[in-house]
A and B are shown apart, each in its own frame.
Chain A
Amino acid sequence: MSTPSTSAIAVTPHRVGAMVLRYLYLLRSSWTRLLELIYWPAVQLFVWGFLQFYIAENSGFFARAGGVFIAAVLMWDVLFRGQLGFSISFLEEMWSRNLTNLMISPLRPIEFVCALMTMSLIRLAIGMVPVTFLAMAFFGFNVYSLGLALAAFFVNLILTSWAVGIVVAGVLLRNGMGAESLAWTLMFVLMPLTCVYYPVSVLPDWLQVIAWMLPPTYVFEGMRALLMEHVVRVDLMVEAFALNALYFAAGVFAFLQLLKSARRAGSLLQTGE
């Protein structure tokens, strides 16, 4: 064996790679898991795409704002499925009662988080890339035509999804499977506040204050500005990135504190309900 680093925060690529390999083996072994990655984003796309067609036929405003719903649903899926991809990979360890094996191995918490982030990207790519081509084929909407703005939207949304995923993983470590529903539902608490399908201005003033605390709000506003007014709002992306940096750091800190608390409470021994 090679001499290991003794630091808790040192990241060793081979251990991150080992965990990614473990999740890839799992995906490869189960076609239902693979199908599920594409199924829901595709269903969402068709529902919102046909709704967009219908509204555009009856409203000049929506006819001009071509693709705004489709773009919104694709962006929302990056946010939601990015977090879900992170959380499901983590939950796989709890479902298979393998967490103790990992916690007593040299795997560092930061390496575990890096592997979960990598898997979130891989799962997202498997699920979303085919759906973007479906959007082109069925609704004539090419999300890649957004160019660099798409990259900025993606980075900001994925950072938020990871920040939420990291906190959920910490809560699961501390509280066990009783907190599993958080993994599936937490992002939906943010949905009305991040203004996926409508502008922030429709919210009451006091709710707008909260909405602007959430990085995805900036992304969805920026997306509407680009599609409806053809304006690239760099200022919104920079503000979103600053907020994301803050939330991501807070998420990692919370995860490490929850892990510490789990060690004190003995929750790592009992990861059931």
Chain B
Amino acid sequence: MSKTVEPVIAVDQLVKVYKTTTAVDGISFALESGSITGLLGGNGAGKTTTIAMIMGLVTPTSGTVRVLGAEMPRQHYQVLHEMNFESPYVDMPHRLTVRQNLKVFGLLYAVEDLSGRIASLARELDLTEFLDRPTGKLSAGQKTRVALAKALINSPRVLLLDEPTASLDPDTADWVRAHLERFRKERGATVLLASHNMAEVERLCERVIIMKRGRIEDDDTPRRLLVRYGRRTLEEVFLDVARGRGEGREAAQ
């Protein structure tokens, strides 16, 4: 008899309604351990709300989210130490130095050998020379690396990223992607990445969930999506979905 492995993230019939606006409309998906999945969608597609419900930051109107077996947000304290999040829309205290910020978050996550962990993250993310500089005085690219160091401080089993390379130059963005790829492989972490950047999703993700107006419009591997829509890039697939040109998919079905 084969043993059923519970998904790391299990989203079932998830709905979120803000007053009269339906942000997420009955979506379901499951993410396996060690997978990296892209959540694609235009503005207002419901990506951020979905990630917020997975983190336990927003209570669903109906449906369920389970992370590592814990129901969110009811049981989120069982698993928050195993998760982390990075977004350019969330800052860290600007007046604190990079080292002070990482120390505070390391203590919150009860990281063992915190000094060693900070030193190793600083080396990996090329932050050593900035450790004692106030976070607010860093460039956008350096701040993103600090935010990434914070997101990795507890070596999370579940890493949620909301447009992690937004507003970065191509070189820094590429560097961040390479680091994320390496972290996922080494740690075996499950990564969910919300992004507008199709090239990023194509490079990093083995599965893509495309959302539109709170619903899942498509869910497949990048390669199969390209074949089904008869397109050369995910950007073209995304535009087909965004503009309601789903012929490729319908024909395949």
Contact A29 B104 (CB under 8 A): no
**Segment of B29-37, B92-100, B171-179, B233-241 in the binding face:** B92-100
Residues in B whose Cβ lies below 8 Å from that of A101: 85, 90, 92, 105, 150
Closest to A100 in B: B90
- Which residues in window 197-217 of B have CB below 8 A to A? none
Q: Which of B56, B78, B112 contacts A6 (CB 8 A)?
A: B78
Establish whether residues A263 and B93, one from each chain, have CB atoms under 8 Å apart when the complex forms: no
Complex CA distance for A17 and B104, rounded to whole angstroms:
9
| 8 Å CB contact of A106 from B80, B87, B91, B150 | B80
Shortest Cβ distance from residue A99 to the other chain B in the assembled complex, whole angstroms: 8
Taking a contact as CB atoms under 8 Å apart, the answer to whether A104 and B109 are in contact is no
Binds B, one of A127-135, A206-214, A264-272: A264-272
B83 — which chain A residues lie within 8 A by C-beta? Answer: 104
Which residues of B in the span 49-98 have a Cβ within 8 Å of any Cβ on A?
A: 49, 52, 55-59, 73, 75, 77-78, 80-81, 83-85, 87, 89-97
Give chain A nearest CB distance to B192 CB in angstroms. 13
Given the known interface contacts A22-B104, A104-B55, the answer about A1 and B91 at a Cβ–Cβ threshold of 8 Å is no
- A interface bracket (residues with beta carbon within 8 Å of B): 35 or more
> Are A18 and B104 in contact, with the CB atoms below 8 A?
yes
| Residue-wise interface mask of A (6-24) relative to B, using a CB-CB cutoff of 8 A (1 in contact, 0 not) | 1110001011011101100
Asked whether, in the complex, the Cβ of A21 is within 8 Å of the Cβ of B104, the reply is yes
Known contacts A4-B80, A264-B58; 16 further A-B pairs (Cβ under 8 A): A1-B111, A6-B75, A15-B110, A18-B105, A18-B107, A22-B96, A96-B92, A98-B91, A100-B85, A100-B90, A104-B57, A106-B80, A106-B108, A264-B59, A266-B49, A269-B52
A binding-site residues for B, Cβ under 8 Å: 1-2, 4-8, 12, 14-15, 17-19, 21-22, 25-26, 29-30, 92, 96-98, 100-108, 260, 263-266, 268-269
**Which single residue of chain A is at the shortest CB-CB distance from B160?**
A104
Q: Does B134 contact A (CB under 8 A)?
A: yes
B91 to chain A minimum Cβ distance, whole angstroms, is: 4
Say yes or no: A14 contacts B107, CB within 8 Å.
yes
The answer to whether A18 touches B108, judged by C-beta atoms less than 8 angstroms apart, is yes
Please name all residues of chain A whose beta carbon is closer than 8 Å to the beta carbon of B23 when the two chains form the complex: 266
Q: In the bound complex, do residue A269 and residue B154 qualify as a contact, i.e. CB atoms below 8 Å apart?
A: no
State A8–B74 Cα separation when bound (angstroms): 10
In the complex, B195 has a CB within 8 A of chain A: no
B48 within 8 A of A: yes
> A6 with B77: in contact, given A100-B90, A264-B59 (CB under 8 Å)?
yes
User: Contact between B58 and A268 (Cβ–Cβ < 8 Å)?
Assistant: yes
Assess whether B18 is in contact with A96, with CB atoms less than 8 Å apart: no
- In the complex the two chains form, is B110's CB within 8 Å of A98's CB? no
Closest chain A residue to B74, Cβ basis: A8
With A15-B107, A96-B91, A97-B90 already in contact, the answer to whether A26 and B96 are too (CB < 8 A) is: yes
| Closest A residue by C-beta to B87 | A100
**B96–A105 touching, CB < 8 Å:** no
Contact B90 A108 (CB under 8 A): no
A103 nearest CB neighbor, chain B only: B57
Please indicate the chain B residues that have their CB under 8 angstroms from the CB of A29 in the complex.
Answer: 95-96, 134
A264 to B15: give the CA distance in the assembly, Å: 12
- A266 proximity list for chain B (CB < 8 A): 16, 18, 23, 49, 52, 58
**A-B pairs with beta carbons under 8 Å apart, 24 shown:** A1-B109, A1-B111, A1-B112, A4-B77, A4-B80, A4-B81, A6-B77, A15-B107, A18-B107, A21-B103, A21-B104, A22-B96, A29-B134, A92-B93, A96-B91, A96-B92, A100-B87, A101-B90, A106-B108, A263-B57, A266-B18, A266-B49, A268-B58, A269-B52
Please, how many angstroms separate the alpha-carbon atoms of A80 and B77 in the complex?
34
B110 near A4: Cβ-Cβ < 8 Å: yes
Asked whether, in the complex, the Cβ of A107 is within 8 Å of the Cβ of B58, the reply is: no
Do the beta carbons of B58 and A263 come within 8 Å of each other?
yes
**Closest-CB distance, B72 to chain A (whole angstroms):** 10
B136 to chain A, nearest CB (A): 9
Closest to B136 in A: A96
